[in-house]
Every structure is written in C-alpha cells, then in structure tokens.
Amino acid sequence: MIEFPDLVAGGLAAGALSALAALGGGLLRSRRQQAVQREEIARLRAQLDGAPLAFTTEVEHLAARRVPAAARQLAHPHVMVPGPLNPRNAGTPLGVALDHVLKGMRTELAAQRTRIDAAAQAGMRGATREIQAALYRLQDALRRLQEQYDDPELAQTLFQLDHENEQSLRRAQVAAVVCGAWVGLARKESHLVDAVTGGQARLAGYHRARVHNHLETGTALVSHAVEPVAIIVAELLDNALRHSSPDTDVTVNLEQVHHGVCVTIDDAGLGMTQDERAHAQRMVAGTEPILLTDLGDPPRMGLAAIGRLTRQFDLSVDLSSPSPYGGVRAVLLVDGHLLTRIDPAEQPPAASAPRSTRKSVPAAVHSYGSEQVEGAAPAGSGHHRPRDAKGLPQRRRRTPATAPAETATRPPARRPEEAAAALGALQSGTAAARARDEDAVPAAAHDSEQTDYEGGAAR
C-alpha cells in the first residue's frame, strides 16, 4: 500500500509540473505578442517617416498639374482638372484640404479676370468715344465738301472717302457697344426697310446683298430700336459677306410674322460646324458675360455686340439653322412692341429702298420666301444717297411726297449708271433749289448725330 505521505508528495510534484508548463506557455505567448507589437511599431514608424514625403509629392502635383489646369478651365471649359496623385487621398482630410485650395484659387482668379477686363473695357470705351467723335467730324467735313464742289470726279472721290470713313465708324461703334457703351445715336421712327438697308450700306460689299421686302408698306421701328436693328443687320451681313465667295449673293428677306417682323439673312458660304453654331448662338443670346480676352486675338466683336444689343433692346437673333444655300441662316426677330406704323404718304421710305410686295394687309402670315422681288439698290441712314458709277452710295436730298398716289406709283430706283449721269446736274443746281431742299430736310439731319434714316451711309 502506498503511504499517505507518498501520495501527497506525488500530488505536489504533479502540481509543480503543471505550474511550470503553464508558466512556459505564458512566456511563449508573451514573446509572440511582443514580436507582433514590434512589427506594428515598425510599420507605424515607417508610415510616419514616409508621410512628409507623400504630402510633399501631393502638393507638388497640385502646383504643377492641378492649379494650371484649373486656371485654363476658366477660359476653356473643356479642359479637365486632374485629381490627387494618390487616389486613396480622395475624400481624406488631405484630399479635402487640397480641393479647398483649388476652389479658393478659382474664385479669386475669376474675380481678378473680371476686374481686369472691366478696366480694359473702360479704357476702350474712352478711346472709342474719341475716335467716334473724330470720325463724325470727318464725315461732316466730307459732306460739306460734297455740297460745296460740283466737279463729278472730285465728288466721286469724296464719296469713296466718306464710305471708307463710314466703315471705320461702324467698327468703332461696335467696339464701344461690346465694352458696354450706349449706341449713342438718337433716331426718330423710321421705316424698317430703311434701317435694314442703312445697315447694309455700312459695308464694303453691300452690293452683294439682295433685299426682298415682303412687309406691309409703312411698317416702321420705334425710335429707340432703329439704330440697334441697323447695327445688328450690319454685323450679320458682314459675317455673311466675309465668309462667302465674292461672286455669290447674300439674300435678305423681310417677312411679317405672328409676333412681329423677321429679317432673314442667308449666305452661300462655308457654314459652321455644330460646335461653332452653338458657340455663336450663345454669343448672340447675350446671356453670358462678355470678356475681351474671350474674343480672340484680334478680337472678333460682331457677335458679342449683337449679344449686348439683343439683351438691352429685347431683340432676338437665331443662328441655329443652316442656310438652304449651304451657308449660315441668321434670323433677327423684332417683336411687335418695337414696331409702329408710318404713313408712307407723309414720310415715304428712301427712294432706293426695295418696294414692298404686299398690296394689302394679309389675313394670314406668309412663310419665308413666299414672295420674290428683285432687290433695289441699298439705302442707308443719314443722307439719302444714289449710287455712283462704281457702286458707292452717294448723298441726295429727299423731296417730300405730294400725294399718296405718287408714293404708291414711284418709279424704280435708278441704276448706278443713271445715278452717275444725273450727279452733275444734281450738284450744279441753283441756289434756290438747294434752299428748297434744305427746307425739306430737318435741320437736325445736319448735326453730328443724325435723327433719320434716308439712305446711304448710316451714322
């Protein structure tokens, strides 16, 4: 039999062995945990040591790539701004902070661009004002010379100089309008066809434009809409003439529509791509701010000027449709509240203006091009001008109509050859005839800012 003391000793030995085994296992686990902790500490330390380098690289990417792209995007919306160099930084505090930097830079840069452009426009407004005043003085001087001398050759040279001066005046006026200046001219109510042909006469290639008048006789513009319509027509025609072959015509149709009057201009030129047409439509709509830096070098101001005027005078220009002749179709809509009626017996349109094809007020609205008529020689604003042998518009005073029947049965406009042949007799008239003509033309028509469209180069 085993004695009791032996049992106790065996139990104690077994307990000691168990305790030693447990202690050894705990030591092993502790060592493994320490190893894992040392690895984690090393990894964290490596991350901490590499963080400054990653931050520096991300900031360098911001300065070298993202900021320049964001600056270009202000002028060219199609430019894409790259994201963070490390995609994992997107949405992190670092990525959000860098995005805030870009946003603040865009806001400040846009404000500075607007301020600088406003200063440039103010400077150009002042310059164009002085240029316009000088050109008006030159125009008056040329007019006085035309009235003073009767030599046909000298008169023809003066007419050519006056037409060149008129083109310079138009460019200065367009630049002033783009820069926020008022049109600067006070007109009285005028026949709409006179405003259209007045804008036509401001252009070098005006003889290529064929105006077809399908309006009711006496359709006119209210006073404050006369000059804007003339400017818009001149710019639309200028684009059509510049971007079409010199041996092609530009067709202009004046049509009565439900909401007013449409002036439709069709050319047979190069046309525009879809993107170009969309850009042009945004420009003429006048809904976007105009910056001189966005107009190119040299600045192309025609569409920008149209946009200014359409917004200021509640007009509408559409360039969204191609012309049936392969070029561009431009449609100017003049709403009814800008229209009025002038008695053609009391104030007839210019003698060289295209005759209306309408015999009476129609019951239904006619479609574009429903009637055809041969266009007459263009007439502009200011003094009425017959054409000389070279096709330049010449000044001729208008005599008042004596009866409504005479207005309805006026003879067609003279051909350039006939006008040139009659020029000598016209300018060598007696002093009494000149005095009678002076009575027929308001004195305000001789001021630097004329108040009526009578044909020829417009002020």
Question: What is the reported pLDDT for 360?
Answer: 52
Distance CA 59, CA 257 (A): 61
State yes or no: pLDDT of 375 exceeds 90: no
Please compute the mean of the pLDDT values over residues 368-386 and round it to a whole number.
38
Distance CA 221, CA 194 (A): 10
State yes or no: pLDDT of 405 exceeds 70: no
Q: Are 420 and 388 in contact (CB under 8 A)?
A: yes
Question: What is the reported pLDDT for 406?
Answer: 38
User: Tens digit of pLDDT for each residue in 254-297?
Assistant: 999 998 999 999 999 888 888 888 888 999 998 878 888 778 77
Distance CA 396, CA 354 (A): 17
Question: What is the reported pLDDT for 433?
Answer: 40
Please compute the mean of the pLDDT values over residues 410-428 and round it to a whole number.
43
Identify which of 270, 271, 233, 239 has the alpha carbon closest to the alpha carbon of residue 252. 233
State yes or no: pLDDT of 111 exceeds 70: yes
Distance CA 358, CA 371 (A): 9
What band does 51 get if pLDDT is binned at 50, 70 and 90?
low
Quick check: is 90 in a domain? Answer: no
Q: Helix or strand or coil: residue 262?
A: strand
Quick check: is 157 in a domain? Answer: yes
In angstroms, what CA-CA distances link 394 with 200, 230, 339, 357, 453? 14, 19, 28, 26, 14
Distance CA 456, CA 392 (A): 9
Q: What angle do CA 331, 337, 340 make, to 5 degrees?
A: 95
Question: What is the reported pLDDT for 425?
Answer: 40
Quick check: is 138 in a domain? Answer: yes
Residue 181: domain span: 122-446
State yes or no: pLDDT of 229 exceeds 90: yes
Question: What is the reported pLDDT for 4?
Answer: 61
Quick check: is 406 in a domain? Answer: yes
Residue 281 belongs to a domain with what CATH number? Answer: 3.30.565.10
Quick check: is 195 in a domain? Answer: yes
Question: What is the reported pLDDT for 97?
Answer: 86
Name the least confident of 76-85, 311-320, 386-395: 386-395
* The pTM of the whole model exceeds 0.75: no
Identify which of 227, 240, 239, 251 has the alpha carbon closest to the alpha carbon of residue 302. 239
State yes or no: pLDDT of 65 exceeds 50: yes
What band does 50 get if pLDDT is binned at 50, 70 and 90?
low
The count of domains in the chain is 1
State yes or no: pLDDT of 211 exceeds 90: yes
What band does 41 get if pLDDT is binned at 50, 70 and 90?
confident
Question: What is the reported pLDDT for 221?
Answer: 94
Quick check: is 258 in a domain? Answer: yes
Question: What is the reported pLDDT for 414?
Answer: 43
State yes or no: pLDDT of 332 exceeds 90: yes
What band does 62 get if pLDDT is binned at 50, 70 and 90?
confident
| Mean of pLDDT over the chain | 75
What band does 31 get if pLDDT is binned at 50, 70 and 90?
confident
Q: Return the amino acid letter for 26.
A: G
Distance CA 91, CA 104 (A): 18
| Higher pLDDT among residues 50 and 127, named by residue | 127
Question: What is the reported pLDDT for 26?
Answer: 74
Quick check: is 326 in a domain? Answer: yes
In angstroms, what CA-CA distances link 220 with 308, 339, 362? 22, 6, 17
Question: What is the reported pLDDT for 253?
Answer: 94
Please compute the mean of the pLDDT values over residues 170-182 and round it to a whole number.
89
Please compute the mean of the pLDDT values over residues 203-207 and round it to a whole number.
87
Quick check: is 39 in a domain? Answer: no
Please compute the mean of the pLDDT values over residues 15-25 and round it to a whole number.
72
State yes or no: pLDDT of 242 exceeds 50: yes
Question: What is the reported pLDDT for 351?
Answer: 80
Q: What is the share, in percent, of the chain residues with pLDDT greater than 70?
A: 72
